[in-house]
Amino acid sequence: MKHRMFLPAVLCVLGGTVVAASAFTAGRLAAAPSAVASIDIQKVLEKISARADTEVEISRLAAGFEKDISDRSKDLEARLKATESMTDPAQIQSARDALALENLQLREWTQLKGQELDRERALRFEALYREIRSEAQKLAQVEGYDYVLVNDGAADMKRDPRSKESYFEQVQQQIARRRVLVTSAKDDITDKLVLRMNNNRAAATQAAPKP
């Protein structure tokens, strides 16, 4: 009778051991480490052709803006000089008052155009970032990575003498903002991402209809 009672107890213990072992194995499989890659985003921005194209377009807009300012300023100066040949004091004062108002309006227009140019540049760089993020996601899927981190640990500390904050405060804030200290060189996909983006842009340029 004792042997008959002992056998089910042994089987119960063995069964529990098998279930526990299976659960442990499943837990280990579920906790497999994620594959993580990194990029140097400043290097990406420096090397992608889209950045160069953006800078060329912004420079073109800025040049047009500066020409407009120069032309309008020269026109004001010419008309102001023309008042020197006037003889009627009332006419001179009226003309110069009108020119002073135009000069004030030109300053306001210059400020607005500067803000417009700054906004345009910000929008274009935001679009560049979205393109980098999208292509990094696609590359990560191809390479088998779960995450792509921006490697900000190796960048040099910047010190701005024009800042109201001391150098120590500037460095301290930069250290506090950084999130990645060390990355593996074999998991750095910066060059692959640059190559992918430049190849895609070259293909899109060739496929575009010629003007």
pLDDT, tens digit (0-9, with 9 covering 90-100), for 59-68: 999 999 999 9
**Tokens 């002992």, residue located:** 6
Q: How buried is residue 148: exposed, middle or buried, by Cβ count under 10 Å (0-12/13-18/19+)?
A: buried
pTM recorded for the entire structure: 0.71
- For position 112, what pLDDT does the model report? 93
Whether residue 8 lies inside any domain: the answer is no
Whether residue 25 lies inside any domain: the answer is no
Whether residue 2 lies inside any domain: the answer is no
Residue 39 DSSP SS3:
strand
Is residue 146 within 8 A of residue 34, CB to CB? The reply is yes
Whether residue 6 lies inside any domain: the answer is no
pLDDT, tens digit (0-9, with 9 covering 90-100), for 129-187: 999 999 999 999 999 999 999 998 877 888 999 999 999 999 999 889 888 888 889 99
Give 22's pLDDT tier (boundaries 50, 70, 90): low
Mean pLDDT within 89-108: 93
Whether residue 28 lies inside any domain: the answer is no
The 10 Å Cβ neighbour count of residue 88 is 9
Is residue 57 within 8 A of residue 50, CB to CB? The reply is no
Whether residue 66 lies inside any domain: the answer is yes
- For position 200, what pLDDT does the model report? 94
Residue 51 DSSP SS3:
helix
Q: How far apart are CA 136 and CA 194, in angstroms?
A: 10
Alpha-carbon distances, residue 86 vs 75, 97, 117 (angstroms): 18, 14, 40
What residues form DSSP beta bridges with 37?
148
Structure tokens of 20? 């526990």
Whether residue 9 lies inside any domain: the answer is no
Q: How far apart are CA 45 and CA 126, in angstroms?
A: 12
Helices (DSSP H) in 86-189: which residue ranges? 89-143, 167-177
Give 193's pLDDT tier (boundaries 50, 70, 90): very high
- For position 29, what pLDDT does the model report? 53
Mean pLDDT within 100-104: 93
Domain that holds residue 41: 34-206
Whether residue 172 lies inside any domain: the answer is yes
- Our count of domains for the chain comes to 1
Q: How buried is residue 200: exposed, middle or buried, by Cβ count under 10 Å (0-12/13-18/19+)?
A: middle
Q: Using the 8-state DSSP alphabet, how is residue 186 labeled?
A: G
- For position 181, what pLDDT does the model report? 85
Structure tokens of 164? 């109201």
Q: Does residue 9 surpass a pLDDT of 60? A: no
- For position 28, what pLDDT does the model report? 53
